[in-house]
Chains A and B, each alone.
Chain A
Amino acid sequence: MSKLLNLALGILAAIGGFVDIGDLVFNTAAGATFGYQLMWVIPIGVVGIIVYSEMCGRVAAVSGKAVFDAVRERVGFKAGLFALISSELVNLLTLAAEIGGVAIALQLLSGLDYVVLLPLTVVGLAVVVWTTQLDWIERIFGYGGLCLLVFAVAAVKLGPPWVKVGNGFIPHLAQNNPWLYLYFVVGLLGAAMTPYEVYFYSSGGIEDRWTPKDIGLNRANAIVGYGLGGFLSLALMITGAAVFLKHGINPEHLGTIALGTEEPLGKIGLLLALVGILFAVGGASIDTVFSGAYNLAQFFGWEWGRYRHPAGAPRFTLTWLVLFVAAFAIVVTGVDPVMLTEYAVIFSAVALPLTYIPILLVANDPEYMRANRNGRLANVLGLVYLVMIMVIAITAIPLMLITNVGQN
């Protein structure tokens, strides 16, 4: 019974924890720009993150290797170092955007000044990480993030044209402004398959001491958690379409995204949306800062782990502290967190193959994986997504330049 309860609790936390600032920004902006025409991209992104999370969770359970162990062993020191540096840079951009997002949510909830709230946000998050065990962090931020379900209520209450919503699930190209449309396709997929989620997921499996017996748990976690998280993405896009497209608003501010719930649900809707954004993005920043520390420690073979006290893994601890400071230094320049998010998502799309190719290689290695290596389904899906990721990686920056970062 307690195992079922644990699974249920874990899944709840995963729903709240799936949505980060990239999902919030891209799903809402896609709805506000193209209505329901991009709904089809969401399930594709969700299946992608499920396929690769399941794979690297299984690798962690069977071989005890996290993503950057695998990267280094499979592609060697030089290419691995290149992958490491790009991942860390993308991670840092993402972290900076998330910290800015938390500060904006706090600003809208408290009325205090954004510039005052930025250092408080960073110090507050660092204190939480220093003093709180990570399973509690996951629960607190995961359950708080569940407030985002208000977007699902809002989406239904807005009474969108369901036939149009349904048609949006059929892949097609928009007639008007196809480049911008493609930019959103890449952004939505990049936001759904953000690499830090995979780093965090696989390292978490090792910290939770998964063994081959936990392969079923891993599969359930990945499918249900990310699947239901994708459901929130759909709600965000519907709200974006039903509220902002109608009024011709481009939600360029994080607060505007929350406003999508005010029209159908009033002040209480807005409040829940802001609290949801605060916890979801706050949780995501902790996941991101840990991912950065995991990657570095795994690549160089340092002691790492969130279940060790901070002094038990000194260089790991110093890494996440430094990442917090560096992210603060970026966001305190006054750069807009929503803009930062777009850059973070597009650059992470470019870096995706560096992470996913080694995972696919290791998951197929009979020596490590024995009977648990990839089956046909995992390999077919893995290869299909790999090709897609390559196309995304190559087209992401040209599309960003053509569309002036989604501004035209």
Chain B
Amino acid sequence: MAKVHIGKNVLDHQLLDKNGRRCGNVDDLGIEDDVVVAIYSGPGVWPQRAGWIGRLAGWIGGGNRVRIPWDEVAKIDSAVHLKQTAADYGLGSGDDRLRPYLEKIPGSHR
């Protein structure tokens, strides 16, 4: 992997699963002994990023937090690509939970 700047090329970037599905954003990084070990994504991370307004946004979002081990990163370009599908990590669950309801409306698959 080419040299990347964690703050600039990873944090706050789009997460894409192996099928190119947009499945969240890099909301925080897990760092142990100066080594990045994980990516955190989801509303549960927002409070520590933005104070009361982050707490409010996280509460509205349901407070879910997903941890993805750094080994699961396949590639970093303008987005962060993951090795498995979103469902494998529990990412994009908001979309998955909502989909069946929208599918009940005619024309949702036009």
Cβ–Cβ < 8 Å partners of B95 in chain A: 302-303, 313-315
Q: When the two chains form their complex, are residues B54 and A72 in contact, meaning their CB atoms are under 8 A apart?
A: no
- A58 contacts partner chain B, Cβ-Cβ < 8 Å: no
Task: Give the complex CA separation of A78 and B12 in angstroms.
Answer: 11
Task: Give the complex CA separation of A310 and B98 in angstroms.
Answer: 11
Cβ–Cβ < 8 Å partners of A65 in chain B: 78
- B37 contacts partner chain A, Cβ-Cβ < 8 Å: no
Within 8 A of B (CB), among A62-89: 63-65, 69, 72-73, 76-78, 80-82, 85
Task: Give the complex CA separation of A5 and B36 in angstroms.
Answer: 51
Cβ–Cβ < 8 Å partners of A80 in chain B: 12
Q: When the two chains form their complex, are residues B41 and A318 in contact, meaning their CB atoms are under 8 A apart?
A: no
Task: Give the complex CA separation of A382 and B21 in angstroms.
Answer: 34
Given the contacts A65-B78, A77-B12, A303-B92, A311 and B108 also touching, CB distance less than 8 Å: yes
Q: Tell me the dominant secondary structure on chain B's binding face.
A: mixed
Task: Give the complex CA separation of A29 and B2 in angstroms.
Answer: 57
Q: When the two chains form their complex, are residues A301 and B94 in contact, meaning their CB atoms are under 8 A apart?
A: no
Q: Quick one: which of B22, B23, B41, B51 has the most chain A CB within 10 A?
A: B22
Given the contacts A77-B46, A131-B110, A310 and B102 also touching, CB distance less than 8 Å: yes
Task: Give the complex CA separation of A73 and B11 in angstroms.
Answer: 7
Within 8 A of A (CB), among B42-81: 46, 49-51, 53-54, 57, 61, 78-79
* Interface residue range, chain A: 20 to 34
Q: When the two chains form their complex, are residues B12 and A302 in contact, meaning their CB atoms are under 8 A apart?
A: no
Q: When the two chains form their complex, are residues A303 and B13 in contact, meaning their CB atoms are under 8 A apart?
A: no
Q: When the two chains form their complex, are residues A73 and B99 in contact, meaning their CB atoms are under 8 A apart?
A: no
Cβ–Cβ < 8 Å partners of A317 in chain B: 102
Task: Give the complex CA separation of A87 and B108 in angstroms.
Answer: 28
Q: Tell me the dominant secondary structure on chain A's binding face.
A: helix
Given the contacts A78-B50, A78-B51, A78-B54, A315 and B94 also touching, CB distance less than 8 Å: yes
Residues of chain B at interface, number, CB under 8 A: 36
Q: When the two chains form their complex, are residues A76 and B12 in contact, meaning their CB atoms are under 8 A apart?
A: yes
Partner of A77, one of B21, B23, B27, B92: B27
Q: When the two chains form their complex, are residues A311 and B103 in contact, meaning their CB atoms are under 8 A apart?
A: yes
- A26 contacts partner chain B, Cβ-Cβ < 8 Å: no
Task: Give the complex CA separation of A318 and B49 in angstroms.
Answer: 25
Cβ–Cβ < 8 Å partners of B110 in chain A: 131, 309-310
Cβ–Cβ < 8 Å partners of A304 in chain B: 22
- B29 contacts partner chain A, Cβ-Cβ < 8 Å: no
Partner of A310, one of B27, B46, B108: B108
Within 8 A of B (CB), among A301-328: 301-304, 309-311, 313-315, 317-318
Task: Give the complex CA separation of A309 and B27 in angstroms.
Answer: 27
Task: Give the complex CA separation of A78 and B57 in angstroms.
Answer: 11
Given the contacts A302-B95, A311-B109, A73 and B13 also touching, CB distance less than 8 Å: yes
B12 to chain A, nearest CB (A): 5
A296 to chain B, nearest CB (A): 11
- A162 contacts partner chain B, Cβ-Cβ < 8 Å: no
Q: When the two chains form their complex, are residues B12 and A315 in contact, meaning their CB atoms are under 8 A apart?
A: no
Given the contacts A72-B25, A309-B110, A315-B95, A301 and B102 also touching, CB distance less than 8 Å: no
Cβ–Cβ < 8 Å partners of A300 in chain B: 24-25, 61
Task: Give the complex CA separation of A196 and B97 in angstroms.
Answer: 29
Given the contacts A301-B23, A313-B95, A81 and B57 also touching, CB distance less than 8 Å: yes
B81 to chain A, nearest CB (A): 13
Cβ–Cβ < 8 Å partners of B57 in chain A: 81
Cβ–Cβ < 8 Å partners of A179 in chain B: none
Q: When the two chains form their complex, are residues B25 and A311 in contact, meaning their CB atoms are under 8 A apart?
A: no
Task: Give the complex CA separation of A259 and B29 in angstroms.
Answer: 60
Cβ–Cβ < 8 Å partners of B46 in chain A: 77, 81
Cβ–Cβ < 8 Å partners of A78 in chain B: 49-51, 53-54
Q: Contact residues of B with A, CB < 8 Å? A: 8-9, 12-15, 21-25, 27, 41, 46, 49-51, 53-54, 57, 61, 78-79, 92, 94-96, 98-99, 102-103, 105, 107-110
16 contacts between A and B (CB under 8 A): A64-B79, A65-B78, A82-B53, A130-B107, A301-B23, A302-B95, A303-B21, A303-B22, A309-B110, A310-B102, A311-B102, A315-B98, A317-B102, A318-B98, A367-B8, A368-B78
